[in-house]
Amino acid sequence: MPLSRVRLSDVAAAVHGQGSVAVDRAVADFRRGEPIVIRDGDRAVLALAVEALTEDRLSRFVRLSGSSPSLAMTGRRAILLGLGSSEAGVVRVALSGTPTAQSLRDLVDPLAKPGVAPTVVAVTAARPTDGDSAAVALAKIARLLPAAVTAAAGLVDDRTLEDWARLEGLLVVEAGPVLSYPTDMARRLSRVGEARVPLAGAENTRIVAFRPSDGGLEHIAIIVGTPDPRQPALARIHSECFTGDLLGSLRCDCGDQLRGAIREIAEQGAGVLLYLAQEGRGIGLVNKLRAYQLQDEGFDTVDANLQLGFDADERVYAPAAEMLRQLGFSSVRLMTNNPLKVEALRHCGVDVVERVPHVFPSNDHNADYLRTKAVKSGHML
């Protein structure tokens, strides 16, 4: 039965998650290519991640919604596609007829080969708190390309919507918890394990693991020596980089910064390195690899992220602030070249008393990357 024709009498029960638990389930459904219902007050949209689209999934989506889908994407991606000049965070793209799954995937993926594009009827800005904005936010949380097909449900009765969702096996999630999820999870960390781990050049080292309440990837505190919580701790906030930290990639300076920070902290006597599970400036490993491919085609590191529909930097620093709080540190001497990181940490309530430069020589593979960080991201190199 189409979503727009739902009636209270369809069934008697409902599938409805609450708060962050519902968002956790919605993330899993999005990654599997399952549609979900996102409710914003008395309105709701049916949403499905574009990256997971197949023709069968799109056909089911159309059957469930009773209408042709619209496309929710970031305003930045829409501008790059020539679909208007809206500076809105998310836009709703109305399409003519029922497009193919392939044409929709091609529209949101800058690495796709040009094909037959769907006909665009209109582009409108989505409200920051509505279902379309939440659908794009959910795709980001799921580390997918930030776009979703959506269909408006119009005005619906709470019980009617949930009855219909139960009938179709769909999860209902509120827009608010989706939109606040990254910050909420960042602030809800549990200290779950720690051990002494001697490191090369820093043998007096402990590692403490913090797990977010959604059960997701742990953030790690590497504590070198015995820093005095009454004094500003020498600290480094380091976002994980699988390619640079583990494989020694020459495309970035992450591996040098990680090992160099541990070495410098040990030489200074004590401090802490916070290793955050925010690969690729918060877009995830797969999307970082896509950004690398775009860089190989001529885009710089900032423009590659923008081409994918992401912000230049999607990271949040609330986890770092919460980890420092739980470890007993209220002030730090922050090892960074990024003044925005200093501002972000201060905004989270941490007193940054000094920015400590953290610069390493470039190589033939990362010189342009470092230059872009300085010119476009304000890094002080």
Hey, which residues are catalytic here? 313, 315
Q: Per residue, what are the HEC states of the chain? A: CCHHHCCCCCCCCCCECCHHHHHHHHHHHHHHCCCEEEEECCEEEEEEEHHHCCHHHHHHHHHHHCCCCEEEEEHHHHHHCCCCCCCCCEEEEEECCCCCHHHHHHHHCCCCCCCCCCCEEEEEECCCCCHHHHHHHHHHHCCCCCEEEEEEEEECCHHHHHHHHHHHCCCEEEHHHHHHHHHHHHHCEEEEEEEECCECCECCEEEEEEEECCCCCCEEEEEECCCCCCCCEEEEEEECCHHHHHCCCCCCCHHHHHHHHHHHHHHHCCEEEEEECCHHHHCCHHHHHHHHHHHHCCCCHHHHHHHCCCCCCCCCCHHHHHHHHHHCCCEEEEECCCHHHHHHHHHCCCEEEEEECCCCCCCCCCHHHHHHHHHHHCCCC
CA distance 131 to 175: 6
CA distance 273 to 258: 9
Q: Strand 331-335 relative to strand 351-356: parallel, antiparallel, unpaired?
A: parallel
The Cα-based distances of 247 to 167, 192, 367 in angstroms read: 48, 27, 19
